[in-house]
Amino acid sequence: MRKHMIWYRSLDILQKINLKESSNILIGVEFSSLGKLLTFDNRIEILYNKLIKDGFELREYKAIGNIHENQGERK
Other Cβ atoms less than 10 A from the Cβ of 27: the count is 15
Q: pTM of this prediction?
A: 0.74
Residue numbers of the domain that contains 8: 3-70
Residue 26: inside a domain: yes
Q: How high is the pLDDT of residue 68?
A: 46
Other Cβ atoms less than 10 A from the Cβ of 18: the count is 11
Strand partners, 57: 73
Helix (H, G, I), strand (E, B) or coil at 66: coil
The number of distinct structural domains making up the chain is 1
* Residues of the chain where predicted confidence (pLDDT) is lower than 70: 60-75
Q: Nearest 5°: CA angle at 58, between 9 and 39?
A: 45
